[in-house]
Amino acid sequence: MKEGTGNGPLILDIEDFKLLPSYNEEDGEAADGHGNFSSNDAFSNGNFRNTDAAKGVSNSMPLFPEVDALLALFKDSCKELIDLRQQVDTRLSSLRKEVSQQDAKHRKTLAELEKGVDGLFDSFARLDSRISSVGQTAAKIGDHLQSADAQRETASQTIDLIKYLMEFNSTPGDLMELSPLFSDDSRVAEAASIAQKLRQFAEEDIGRQGIGVQTATGNATASRGLEVAVANLQEYCNELENRLLQRFDAASQRRELSTMAECAKILSQQQCTAIHSYCSREDKMEQVSGIYENNYPSRTLFASLGVMEFNVMSQVANSRKGPFDVQFGLQLTVDDWSFSISLTLSFFEQFNRGSSAMQHYVATRPMFIDVEIMSADSRLVLGDQGSQANPSNVARGLSSLYKEIADTVRKESATIMAVFPSPNEVMAILVQRVLEQRVTSLLDKLLRKPSLNHPPPMEEGGLLVYLRMFAVAYEKTQELARDLRAVGCGDLDVEGLTESLFSAHKDEYPEHERASLKQLYQAKMEELRAESLAELGGGTGSIGRSKGASIASNHQQISVAVVTEFVRWNEEAVSRCNLFSSQPSILAANVRAVFTCLLDQVSQYLTEGLERAREGLTEAAALRERFVLGTNISRRVAAAAASAAEAAAAAGESSFRSFMVAVQRCASSVALVQQYFANSISRLLLPVDGAHAASCEEMATAMSKAESAAHKGLQQCIDTVMAEVERLLSAEQKVTDYRSPEDGIVPDHRPTSACTRVVTYLSRVLESAFTALEGLNKQAFLTELGNRLHKLLLSHWQKFTFNPSGGLRLKRDITEYGEFVRSFNAPSVDEHFEVLGILANVFIVAPESLSTLFEGTPSIRKDAQRFIQLRDDYKSAKLAAKLSSLWPSLG
């Protein structure tokens, strides 16, 4: 410890804190001393051990007053801890010895137990082997006992069967002496089973006898066999079946499902063993096939047969070789058989023994035998006799009827499931009969296929009524088929059977659809013509005829509503195509044919409408030609001709407007067809390669006829406008307009009256063109009209001479015309009128300035020379010679 200066703090070394001895595992003495303190390692009486440090401190108090008491306590504690450690070490040593002894003893015990367990396993193995040997012996004994019991039972049954067979083989047709088993109604199932076994045995014995008789020639004493037993058994089985069917009917009337189920189960076991044996002899039946093909070619004739039996008969007929040339009612004798088989209808009835209860149950359902139910079906769907069936009413009636049928089948399904051991076969028979009898009977009354050569008149609805009835019946019957499938119909292809009901109608559907569209179009055109004739008056005279033509054009104008009706017909037809055509290729072909009908109708309607509108333009042109007069006429004739020309001009203007309306409606109609094609038709054609492109080409071809008529009509419209402009210019333009005698006085900056009349007329008449035409059609029409107007004005002005004031008047007219044609948005036309404005300057400038007037525009010098010749001073100023010297290339 170091002493601080002055009153500073006391500083301690780390050595000052070594109150307890440090423990070092390698220091043996420190470990043996157990922490004894050394007087050199601690404070003594609370004084510092460092005497050097204590020199500077005199007469000071001990630093830790309680150190002596604590030191004594520490020494006592260390002593006790040492004692405890020695005790623990001693106890630990004794425990180690005890654990070692117990471990050795435990190991010895485990070894002895292992030996004992091995001995037990060996004993168990010997016991298991012994038990297995005993068990096998017992099993063999059991098998022998079971076999012996089965043989005993078989022998007992054989004895009984022989006894029963002898009873049946005693006297032909005598069933009175049979055992009570065969007449006991409580044991009818047992009797049926025994009878089946006896029949099978007897028929097989007859077959073997037939072979024996053939091989043992000359055996006159051969046994007659069991023919009597077979006959008696057949008669008994028939009687038994009749009894069971009677019990089945009685139980059905009382709704005793358990009795019905019992009878159905017994009847289902009554298989025709004679036919089975007959058909199973492969070595004797290779020449027998086609049992029913020549006599029953259609499956529907076997409605009385079960599905299972029909399939068996099909397999027999299809698997055998060679013809089975037999007529019903004759006897068939097989050469290598010693008996004849009667091949009459009873032959097939025997084959149906296994499903007689199924057939009987289905056939006795009220829905198939109650005439009142069938009549109610017709009244519900078709209405009262003599009334015209309406497709919407038929749809409601079919929905109600088919719902009733589905509910009835659903109720019958519950009974069938509870009664018959093969309910799926019964459901197949029931559903098949529902579709082939009840539904077919109704469809035959509802759908009477019309003749295409003599279709029903439109007053009765035409072909469209038949098609709508067909669509309604098909759609509702398909819904019924889905409902019946959901109820359950076994393996019956109810969808395919439903399709077969409409096959005759679907085969000729496309032709009927196209014929219906044609009939609708013809009826619509007749209606429009009748309306036009009813509204058209009987005008007389030339003027009257022109007005009449205008009226007729107005009343026979193209109507977008009519084209919309065409599209609506086509949409309805396409919806039927979707309904009747399941395959994409067939659907595309039918849709394309139907859409082609629409194209033909629209093309014909628009073309005829445009041609009618052109007739007004043609008649107006003819009127104008009639009033072209010569020069040597009286004033009164001229006045009358002028009045008639005004009327002809009015007719032409009216015809122009009518044609523009026709063109506008034609464009709207074409857009409507194109939109319909894009929205409804194209997606149905895309799955078939080439169909979409072919329809687009057909559409372009069909619309080209209307476009051609529209183009001709627009040319006539331009001719009509130009003729009227020419008439106005001729009537209104005066010589003094461009060669005023008051030249040099204040010029008149107003346009001439002829220019004003022409611009006013063009503004008025072209208003309908601006509204009717769009896009490129509008641009082409106005460009052609502007060019024609430019040529007409050039030709018109060639008739006049101009002085400077007249030139200013001409320039004002050109400006007026230019401002008007600027609304055409035709750059080439604007350029032509700008050039005219430049050319008009030749009348204004002095003769000496003409040489410099066109220095920047040499391309118009030729036109300028023609204008210069119209100057009133052309000759007096000798401008011809000057121009020839200035522009020698134009001389």
pLDDT of residue 68: 81
The long-range contacts involving 683-687, CB below 8 angstroms and separated by at least 24 positions, are 684/574, 684/577, 684/578, 684/587, 684/588, 684/591, 685/588, 685/591, 685/592, 687/584, 687/585, 687/588
CB of 618 within 8 A of CB of 700?
A: no
The CB density around residue 254, as the number of other CB atoms within 10 Å, is 10
What is the tens place of the pLDDT at every residue in 80-123? 999 899 999 999 999 999 999 898 889 888 888 888 888 888 88
Tell whether 219 is covered by a domain.
no
Does 761 share its domain with 875? yes
Tell whether 157 is covered by a domain.
no
- The residues with which 812 forms a beta bridge, in sequence order, are none
Considering 684, 701, 730, which residue would you say is the last residue of a domain? 730
pLDDT of residue 477: 93
Number of domains in the chain: 5
What is the CATH classification number for the domain harbouring 743? 1.20.58
Distance CA 521, CA 596 (A): 13
Does 285 share its domain with 421? no
Distance CA 884, CA 151 (A): 146
Q: Which three-class secondary structure state does DSSP give residue 492?
A: coil
pTM of the model: 0.63
Tell whether 560 is covered by a domain.
yes
Tell whether 228 is covered by a domain.
yes
- Please give the backbone phi and psi of residue 802, each rounded to the nearest 5 degrees, phi first: -130, 135
CA within 13 Å, CB half, 631 = 0
Tell whether 22 is covered by a domain.
yes
CA terminus-to-terminus distance, the chain? 142
Considering 490, 507, 524, which residue would you say is the last residue of a domain? 507
Closest CA to 395 of 498, 479, 510, 487: 479
Considering 65, 89, 109, which residue would you say is the last residue of a domain? 65
The token duo for 638 is 């001229």
Tell whether 103 is covered by a domain.
no
Does 369 share its domain with 464? yes
CA within 13 Å, CB half, 713 = 32
Does 694 share its domain with 555? yes
Q: Is the dihedral of CA 505, 507, 510, 516 positive or negative?
A: negative
Does 724 share its domain with 836? no
CB of 724 within 8 A of CB of 649?
A: yes
Distance CA 554, CA 348 (A): 77
Tell whether 550 is covered by a domain.
yes
Q: Exposed, middle or buried: residue 590 (CB in 10 Å: 0-12, 13-18, 19+)?
A: buried
CB of 182 within 8 A of CB of 236?
A: yes
Domain of residue 614, residue span: 508-730
Does 759 share its domain with 876? yes
- Nearest-5° angle of CA 717, CA 701, CA 710? 5
44 torsion bin: left (phi>0), alpha (psi -120 to 50), beta (else): beta
Does 294 share its domain with 373? no
Does 377 share its domain with 495? yes
Does 205 share its domain with 318? yes
Does 372 share its domain with 485? yes
Torsion angle (degrees, nearest 10) of CA 64, 66, 68, 69:
-160
Does 491 share its domain with 516? no
Q: At what angle do helices 827-839 and 775-797 cross, to 10 degrees?
A: 20
The token duo for 166 is 């002898």
The token duo for 410 is 């659903």
Does 570 share its domain with 684? yes
Q: Exposed, middle or buried: residue 53 (CB in 10 Å: 0-12, 13-18, 19+)?
A: middle
Residues 6+ apart with CB under 8 A from 24: 30
Tell whether 70 is covered by a domain.
no
**Regions of the chain with pLDDT less than 70:** 1-62, 160, 164-191, 193, 195-196, 199-227, 229-230, 232-236, 238-357, 385-388, 536-555, 627-641, 741-748, 854-858, 885-891
